Structure 1
Amino acid sequence: MYPHSKKTIAVPPGATIKEQLQDRHMSQKEFAIRMDMSEKHISHLINGKVELTNDVAQRLESVLGVPAPVWNNLESRYRERLAKVSSELTDEREMNLVKRFPYQKMSVEGWVSKTDDYNEQVRNLRRFFEVANLKVLYTLGILDDCEENEDFFLAAKKQANELKNEK
Structure 2
Amino acid sequence: MSVKIRLRRMGKKKQPHYRIVVADSRSPRDGRFVENLGYYQPLTQPARLVLDLDRVDYWLGEGAETSDTVSNLVTKARSGGDDTVVLGALDAEEAKAAKKASAEAQRAAEEAKAKAEVEAEEAAAAAAAAKAAAEAAAEEEGAETPAGDSETPASEASSGDAGEEE
TM-score by length of 1: 0.30
- Identify, as 1 or 2, the structure richer in helix: 1
Give the structure with higher Rg (CA): 2
- Identify, as 1 or 2, the structure richer in strand: 2
